[in-house]
Amino acid sequence: MSVSAEQGAPERPSKPARGDKVPALVLMAVAVLALFLAPLYLTNEYHVRILTLVCIFGAASVGWNLLGGYANQVSLGHAVFFGIGAYAVVIFQEKYELSPWLAMPAGVLVSVLVGLVIGWPTFQLSGHYFALGTLALLQVFHIVANSWEGLTEGSAGISLPILESGIWNLQFDGPAPLLYISAGLLVASLAAARWVRYSRLGLELDAIRLNPQAATLAGVDLFRAKMKAMLISAVIVSLAGSVYASLLQFLDPETAFAWNTSINLALFAIVGGIRHWWGPALGALLLIPLAEWASLTLTGNLAALAQLMYGALLVLLILVQPRGIGGLLDKVWRRFTVSKPTESKPTASTP
């Protein structure tokens, strides 16, 4: 993943935020290439699976960040979109023997509708209230999925039938093809996040994060900007959920509408840096292998230590480094770039 710092900090108006430093994209390309080559060198199927998880949750976290990071509207309910995307796949495939490729647009459509319906009331809430409202929504979906047994089979869950392997059914003999698909999803969501970051919408979301009142005065339509971010993020998270269901080949309400999913999406973004389009992906790349390693080494009661570590990390980061690794790299980058011109042209610059 990229280790370059990005410009575009709002406190430097002389250089409009039109793009990041080249290394961010170059390193991203290298990372993607590495992802695609990985199955050729990784002999352990389990490692390929971990990489797949990184891509899926990395993409979902990148999606969460559009609203939670860029605009600072912390949603604790994004697992709703994840679950909808996932349920679309298992319901299509198990009940109607339809391909996941048909289920994905259906899931996206439902997610967008849900996003529209919940965005309308919740965007009038600010701060704590928005987090509370989205949390309530997740609980509602959880209960509905548990009790609407005709559709979801309730808490027993749905196992996918074994079908002819191939791209159409998203069932494969080896783990590599699904890694490619999730890597594709990650790249697409990163591209979308980068595009938003440097578009007019990105500036508007920035303005909302810094000062909603001032943003309104400057002519930003708060509701529209938030809604756009919400819908793009709903699409991404829903697709990630669809791929996740294909990876698991099983789904129950506990997995689909998990409180942990909502927390993890926020956590990855915060660790990687919410101000950067690539931050959440970096967070996922660091934390998911760590959690998998922890769940292998810690058994029995100690298995809870993996989640405990996540929680402690969340608290610690917010106290010590709320901007995550991205923010840290920003500081380092600024030290390099600011010190050079003052050496060459000592008269021109005033600090």
Partner 1 sequence: MDLAQSVVNGLLIGSIYALIAVGLTLVFGVMDIVNFAHGEFLMLGMFGGYFASSEFGIDPLLAAPIVGLVVFAFGALIERTIIEPIIKAPPVAQVLATVGLGLVLANGAAALLGNDFRSVKTGYQGEAFRVFGLSISATYLYAGMYALVVALLLSLFLNKTDFGKAMRATAQNRGAAELMGINPKRMYMVAFGIGVGLAALAGSAVIPYALVYPYVGQQYVLIMFTVVVLGGLGSVRGAILAGLAVGLIQTLTTLVLPTELQNLVVFSVFFAVLVLIPGGVMRRVRFG
For partner 1, the binding residues (CB under 8 A) are 68, 72, 74, 76, 121-122, 124-129, 131-133, 135-137, 139-140, 143-144, 146-147, 259, 263, 266-267, 270, 300-308, 310-315, 318-319, 322
Distances (CA, A) of 159 to 94, 240, 247, 256, 337: 8, 19, 12, 13, 55
Where b means 16+ CB within 10 Å and e means fewer, 299-328 reads: eeeeeeebeeebeebeeebeeebebbbbbe
3-state percent breakdown (helix, strand, coil) of the chain, nearest 5: 75, 0, 25
Q: Closest separation between CB of residue 144 and partner 1, Å?
A: 7
Smallest separation, CB 211 to partner 1 (Å): 11
- The answer to whether 103 touches 264, Cβ cutoff 8 Å, is no
Contact in structure between 81 and 311 (CB atoms under 8 Å):
no
Taking alpha carbons only, the member of 150, 171, 142, 161 closest to residue 252 is: 142
Integer Cα distance of 82 and 84 in angstroms: 6
Q: Which is nearer to partner 1, 185 or 229 (CB)?
A: 229
Q: Give the number of C-alpha atoms closer than 13 A to the C-alpha of residue 220, restricted to the C-beta side.
A: 25
Comparison of 74 and 89: residue with beta carbon closer to partner 1: 74
Q: Which is nearer to partner 1, 217 or 302 (CB)?
A: 302
Least Cβ distance, residue 113 to partner 1 (angstroms): 17
Q: Which is nearer to partner 1, 103 or 266 (CB)?
A: 266
Minimum distance of partner 1 from residue 67's CB (angstroms): 11
Could you tell me the smallest distance in angstroms from the CB atom of residue 199 to partner 1? 23
Q: In whole angstroms, what is the distance from residue 76 CA to residue 132 CA?
A: 8
Q: In this complex, which beta carbon is closest to partner 1, that of residue 155 or of residue 337?
A: 155
Least distance CB 156 / partner 1 (angstroms): 14
Q: Which is nearer to partner 1, 72 or 159 (CB)?
A: 72
